[in-house]
């Protein structure tokens, strides 16, 4: 339990009934605002996909998907999604979505290798979204504009939550700060990536860190990212590479940085090929998704995921994600959390 954070004198500001009502309020309000801001329509998404098509999200490349055989498909194996990063792009083509519009969906996943703590659960729920863009929109300025629109939806949701439950007090800043991961490294060269995130979020309150996945000047990436959806290797026009990033805030309940979203402009054919080579994953070129993209059959897009339970956790000022969602936790974690005011569902 050493990774758990126990806020001193923590006491949930909402009881169980208020929490359940608050979850419903936050989820319904935010997704409607996200849909309006980015011109997205809701679609239905799969819980699992067939193995061997290259459609599942590989995250950092080491997490094992949950798999099972399908009797009526000759024992072909399916795997529970990690996210829908690549599935959405295929759906944009299938639905013939026009540039400037997109889709969003409720993504539910099981990540059996997750290290459990205040923010991480075996069960992952997020709004996965994807929008079609034009070639000249594959720029850092376009990415920033989309980030600002998402952040404005987050701010409106915070206002509603605090108006509904006066015991909650708003803490998010009016503006989100942008910084490249290389700039962040130069600011705090002696800190780990996580410590750098804490430092910059403590300073600005809300930050979008650009360029997640590519190697920095110290030879290490700020964080891992699969090579076949986000574009983390294309020069962005300001001397740095990367057209993706993470939205993070400073969360006073836990006194740490808190990631709410991972997103970015997606790879085109050139970036995909380059990143497969950089990652030593060129064998993926033969998979269905990768063949379709490399042959120019998929639309250019921007997309990402926004944690549902995480957003609710922040909006309702909870100290553990298990206060928001029902999942499986070690018995000793449940006991420790109960003793420190965190009553897990």
Does 297 participate in catalysis according to the annotation?
Answer: no
Distance CA 251, CA 206 (A): 9
Question: Out of 31, 58, 89, 111, which one is annotated catalytic?
Answer: 111
Question: Out of 58, 197, 223, 246, which one is annotated catalytic?
Answer: 246
Does 246 participate in catalysis according to the annotation?
Answer: yes
Using DSSP, state whether 14 is helix, strand or coil.
Answer: coil
Does 181 participate in catalysis according to the annotation?
Answer: no
What is the end-to-end Cα distance of the chain in Å, rounded? 18
Does 262 participate in catalysis according to the annotation?
Answer: yes
Residues 196/185, Cβ–Cβ less than 8 Å: yes
- For 339, the token pair is 């003793």
Question: Out of 31, 57, 89, 309, which one is annotated catalytic?
Answer: 57
Phi, psi of 287 (to 5 degrees): -75, 155
How many Cα atoms are found within 13 Å in the side-chain-facing hemisphere of 75?
Answer: 0
Distance CA 242, CA 68 (A): 36
DSSP E strands in 244-300: the ranges are 244-251, 256-265
| CA dist 78 → 74, 128, 285 (Å) | 12, 20, 20
Residue 80: CB partners within 8 Å, gap ≥ 6?
A: 47, 48, 65, 66, 67, 109, 110
Question: Out of 259, 273, 292, 336, which one is annotated catalytic?
Answer: 259
Does 126 participate in catalysis according to the annotation?
Answer: yes
Does 257 participate in catalysis according to the annotation?
Answer: no
CB-count exposure of residue 95 (10 Å: 0-12, 13-18, 19+): middle
Active-site positions read 57, 111, 126, 246, 259, 262
């Amino acid at each position: 339990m050493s990774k758990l954070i126990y806020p001193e004198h923590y006491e949930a500001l909402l009881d169980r009934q208020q929490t359940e009502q608050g979850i419903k309020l936050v989820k319904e309000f935010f997704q409607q605002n996200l849909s309006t801001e980015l011109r997205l329509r809701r679609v239905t998404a799969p819980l699992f996909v067939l193995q061997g098509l290259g459609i599942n999200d590989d995250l950092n490349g080491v997490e094992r998907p949950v798999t099972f055989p399908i009797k009526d498909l000759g024992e072909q194996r399916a795997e529970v999604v990690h996210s829908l990063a690549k599935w959405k792009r295929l759906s944009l083509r299938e639905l013939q979505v026009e540039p400037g519009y997109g889709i969003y969906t409720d993504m539910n996943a099981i990540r059996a290798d997750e290290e459990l703590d205040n923010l991480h659960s075996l069960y992952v729920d997020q709004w996965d979204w994807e929008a079609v863009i034009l070639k000249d929109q594959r720029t850092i300025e376009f990415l920033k504009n989309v980030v600002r629109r998402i952040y404005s939806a987050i701010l409106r949701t915070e206002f509603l939550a605090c108006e509904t439950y006066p015991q909650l007090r708003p803490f998010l800043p009016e503006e989100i700060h942008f910084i490249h991961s290389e700039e962040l490294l130069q600011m705090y060269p002696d800190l780990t990536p996580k410590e750098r995130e804490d430092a910059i979020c403590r300073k600005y309150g809300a930050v979008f860190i650009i360029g997640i996945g590519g190697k920095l000047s110290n030879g290490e990436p700020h964080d891992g990212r699969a090579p076949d959806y986000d574009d983390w290797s294309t020069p962005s026009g300001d001397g740095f590479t990367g057209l993706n990033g993470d939205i993070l805030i400073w969360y006073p309940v836990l006194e740490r940085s808190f990631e709410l979203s991972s997103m970015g402009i997606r790879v085109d054919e050139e970036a995909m090929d380059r990143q497969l080579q950089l990652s030593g994953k060129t064998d993926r070129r033969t998979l269905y998704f990768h063949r379709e993209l490399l042959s120019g059959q998929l639309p250019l897009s921007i997309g990402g995921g926004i944690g549902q339970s995480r957003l609710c956790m922040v909006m309702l000022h909870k100290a553990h994600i298990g206060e928001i969602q029902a999942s499986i936790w070690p018995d000793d974690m449940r006991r420790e959390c109960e003793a420190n005011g965190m009553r897990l569902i």
